[in-house]
Amino acid sequence: MSSVTLTDLHKAFDGNPVLHGFELEVAQGEFVSLLGASGCGKTTVLRLVAGLEEPDRGRITVGDRVVCDASKGTWIPPEARRIGMVFQSYAVWPHMTVLENVAYPLKVAGVARAEREAHTLTILERVGLAGLEGRRPAQLSGGQQQRVALARGLIMEPDVLLLDEPLSNLDAKLRIRMRADIRRIQKESGFTVIYVTHDQDEALAISDRLVIMEEGVILAVGSPDEVRDHAFLSPEAEHEERA
């Protein structure tokens, strides 16, 4: 289990600054949501932690390991960070079965076939996909693909799991069920979660702590009870977001 510390992160795309001096500390086993409108920089923070983007400046620490320090040239590539990630588009590989998709991280790590299949089947059961291991992604519903992506993120038992708008492509009813499932699994295993969303109801329901962002700046940080009355979460703001 690991904490995540982001120190003085700077990132610009094509000269447009997205983050300037972003700081955040996520405790071990904590469930933190980054909440904000699209373009506020929340996904960039997530991709920096993952190692899919490189900061122009700043340092990222996972547990007691510095995974990135721009001033010292320290850089651990994403494949070596042992961080799980669930993508907004699911990123389920269309040319592999459900089993092959979920077992892939174990395969890369060199786990023997029998062992990784057994392990995969238990994970599939945990996310509610028992019996579907032979299917192709094209034969799955959106919610099922989402579960495949979640299972793949969990199978390495990562210390940190990153979720990028994981529920935004699902219908309302499924969304509520999935977020309960994610929270349950996290509480069972105790890993650290950074969760990106633009849906404030979702963030309030699922998180230990919320980080409200706008244009790369943190407007407020706190438990759901602490930030519930923040101006950003006014009904008007929500209305705008929906529109």
Partner 1 sequence: MRRRFEPRFWIALAAVFVLGILPLVLVLSRGVSSGAFWETVTSEEAVDAVLGTLQLSAGTTLLALLIGAPLAWLTTRTDLPWRGFFRSMLTIPYIIPPYIAAVAWINLANPEVGALNSLLGKGALDIYSMTGLTWVMALSFYPYVFLTVRAALLSADPSLEDAARMSGARTWRVLRDVSLPLMRPALIASGGLVFMVTASAFGAPALIGNAARLDFLSTSIFDALTSGLGGMAQASSLACVLLALAVIPMFLRARHHAVLTGKASRPTRVRLGRARLPIHLLTLAFVAVAVILPAVAVALTAFMRVAGDFSLSNFTLENFAVLERSDSGSAIWTSLWLAAAAATAAVVLGGLVAFLQVKTRRRGRHLLATLTAVPLAAPGTVLALGLILVWTTPLKLVNTVWILLIAYLAKYVALASRAIGEGLGTVDDALPEAARMSGAHGLTLLRTIWIPLVLPALVAGWFLVFMPCFSELTMSVLLVGPGVDTVGTRLFEMREYEAPTAASVLATVVLALVVVTNLLLRLLSRGRYGV
Q: Which residues bind to partner 1, rule: CB under 8 A?
A: 13, 43, 47, 50-53, 77-80, 82-85, 87-95, 104-105, 108-109, 137-138, 145, 149, 152-153, 156, 169
**Strand ranges for 63-140 from DSSP E:** 65-69, 74-75, 83-86
Cα separation of 46 and 53, whole Å? 9
Q: Which is nearer to partner 1, 116 or 209 (CB)?
A: 116
Tell me which DSSP letter residue 80 carries.
Answer: G
The Cα angle at residue 118 between residues 116 and 123, in degrees rounded to 5 = 90
- Tokens 């069920």: give the residue: 177
- What minimum distance in Å lies between the beta carbon of 234 and partner 1? 27
Backbone φ and ψ of 172, nearest 5°: -55, -45
Strand order in the sheet with 209-214: 83-86, 160-164, 192-197, 31-35, 209-214, 217-222
Shortest gap between Cβ of 158 and partner 1 (angstroms)?
A: 9
The answer to whether the CB of 192 falls within 8 A of the CB of 2 is yes
187 close to 154: Cβ distance less than 8 angstroms: no
- Write down how long the chain is: 243
- Identify which of residues 47 and 209 has a Cβ nearer to partner 1 in the complex: 47
Q: Which is nearer to partner 1, 47 or 126 (CB)?
A: 47
Q: In the bound complex, what is the minimum distance in angstroms from residue 18's beta carbon to partner 1? A: 11
Question: Closest separation between CB of residue 104 and partner 1, Å?
Answer: 5
CA distance 132 to 125: 10
Nearest approach, Cβ of residue 130 and partner 1 (Å): 22
Shortest approach of partner 1 to residue 50 CB, angstroms? 6
**Cβ closest to partner 1, residue 95 vs residue 173:** 95
Q: How far is the CB of 149 from partner 1 (least distance, A)?
A: 8
d(CA 168, CA 175): 8
Our CB check for partner 1 shows the closer of 109 and 231 to be 109
Nearer to partner 1, 55 or 153 (CB): 153
Nearest by Cα to 114 from 99, 136, 128: 99
Helix axes 98-108, 142-154, angle to 10 degrees: 20
| Nearer CB in complex with partner 1: 41/105 | 105
